[in-house]
A = this chain, B = another copy of it.
Amino acid sequence: MNGDSLLIHQPTRLSIMAALSTLEEGAKVDFTFLSEELEVTEGNLSSHIRKLEEAGLLNVEKVFVDRKPKTWIALTARGRQAFSRYVEELEKIVRGAGQGEL
């Protein structure tokens, strides 16, 4: 496992990516809502989202709604691909694939 998959493998980031992958393409979720759903503190969630954003896997959009700041989080196309690849890799590892005679 390496690159994007290793980044995604961290449990909190995995739950973020998995939650977003269940949405239809292009859909976005509110940061506060995501924090509550995943039961992750906003500080913790924020730091993991930043890492995923820096890797180009998430898109973060800050807007004002009724003069209040709101943050939308969405999977990028690359993020969706990376998550699919991660799941495939993980399935192989879990099945013990590639271990020859074992």
Contact = CB atoms under 8 A, between A and B. Distances in A.
Interface string A16-50: 00110111000001000010011000000000000
Contacts of A96: 18-19, 21-22
Nearest to A96: B22
Interface stretch (A7-15, A54-62, A63-71): A7-15
**Chain A contact patch, size range:** 20 to 34
Of the listed residues A22, A34, A38, A94, the one surrounded by the most CB atoms of chain B closer than 10 A to its CB is: A94
Contacts of A82: none
Closest 5 CB pairs of A and B: A22-B96, A18-B96, A19-B99, A1-B11, A19-B96
18 contacts: A11-B93, A14-B93, A14-B94, A15-B93, A18-B94, A18-B95, A18-B96, A18-B99, A19-B99, A21-B96, A22-B96, A22-B99, A29-B102, A37-B99, A37-B101, A87-B94, A90-B90, A90-B94
